[in-house]
Structure 1
Amino acid sequence: MSRIIFDTATTLNGFLADDEHSLAWLFAVDGGDDPDETLLPQGATVMVEGSHTYEWGLRAWAESDQREDWQAFYGDRPVFVFSSRELPVPEGADVRFLRGTVAEALPELRAAAGDGDIWVVGGGDLAGQFLDAGALDEIAISIAPVALPSGAPLLPRRVESDRLTLIETRQVGQFARLVFAVDRTR
């Protein structure tokens, strides 16, 4: 069965995006706009994100007017977006919109992933919903040397230490990389 991994970058004070849902802070960090390949889940065959993450990406790639940026990041993987709204889809992209709960979507996500992993790209509340459903296997975060006064929190849930086991720490350029295994039985 495929693993479900929440893999993201965060500020040192735990925000994924600023108050306008922008990730510009991340791309201003040396290495933030071209991440080390070892920071990305290599076995992910499906990507999942919330509507704010998806919309920010659409705006960023539209501003750069470079469709190949989409292809470079997403590749040929299907991208599932949880949204209650109709949103545009880049030409040639495999974007599938989901409504409802994470628990309801799990069979479709697992079927699309096959033997590969499912990468929850963002946001934090969506990752929390996977955690609530007992489906999240791993949390991998790259902490950037940035602090924001407010914004979208990394994981807006209370998660006690008995659910997380630190399995990796390392420095990758300007980022501190932490990986935790999640105990899904609690």
Structure 2
Amino acid sequence: MSRVLFHTAVTLDGFLADPDDSLDWLFSVPGSVEAEADLTPFLDGVGAVVMGSTTYDWLWRHELRDAPERWPEFYAERPVFVFTGRELPRVPDADTLRFVSGEVSGLWPEIDAAAGDRDVWIVGGGDLVGQFADAGHLDQVRVSVAPVTLGAGRPLLPRRFGSERLTLESVRQSGQFAELTYSFR
């Protein structure tokens, strides 16, 4: 069975995006390009990607709408499951892109099979991460904390998880980011 990992960047005050779903804060952090390069070993272990509709919509509006050929090579090589309850634009020729709806537990066998012997990466959607946790399919939370505060926005995890479910496994610095890795029970 594949491990399910939530790996994301977050502001110091715990937000994934600002109230308008913008990630401009992330790209303005000095060293963010270098920190992204540190992801290569992590990405090599990913067999399938899961994201929520808001994350996919952001990718579409900011990266793909005017240049669908930008569908990142990383995504083109792996099955990508977008959890959504609404119609979303489709990236032309993105054969690995799958729009799904329903309960995580009902879709888990398909996601697990698609990942093969590698990990499942939940790219975005704090609520989606909570759904995976509720279904018993979350193994690790890896958060890269940026030296930015927003005051409001999309929270990292809009659910309550006590310390009995999260165990700190490692802490490391990557440029201006502090990466915290927790195992999840």
TM-score, normalised relative to structure 2: 0.91
What does residue 20 of structure 2 align with? 20
Tell me how far apart the structure 1 counterparts of residues 137 and 116 of structure 2 sit (CA, whole Å): 16
Query: Is 1:148 aligned to residue 150 of structure 2?
Result: yes
Cα deviation 1:50-106 (Å, max 9, x = unaligned): 0000000111114773733x2244241111000011111222222101111111111
Deviates more, 1:34-43 or 1:54-63: 34-43
Unaligned runs of 5+ in 1: none
Instruction: Look up the SS of the partner of 2:107 in the other structure.
Output: helix
2:172 maps to 1:162: no
Task: Give the partner amino acid of 1:136.
Answer: L
- Three-state SS of the structure 1 residue aligned to 2:72 is helix
Could you tell me which amino acid in structure 1 is paired with residue 92 of structure 2?
E
**Correspondence for 1:2:** 2
Q: How many residues end up aligned between the 2 structures?
A: 182
Q: Report SS of the residue matched to 1:161.
A: coil
Overall identity of the aligned pairs, in %: 51
For structure 2, which runs of at least 5 residues remain unmatched after alignment?
none
How large is the RMSD of aligned CA atoms in angstroms?
Answer: 1.7
The TM-score with structure 1 as length reference comes to 0.91
**Letter matched to residue 141 of structure 1:** V
> Could you tell me which residue of structure 2 aligns to residue 181 of structure 1?
183
What is the rounded CA distance, in whole Å, between the counterparts of 1:33 and 1:72 in structure 2?
17
Which residue identity is paired with 1:38? L
Q: Which amino acid aligns with 1:74?
A: Y
Moved over 6 A (4+): none
For residues 89 and 76 of structure 1, the distance between their equivalents in structure 2, rounded to whole angstroms, comes to 17
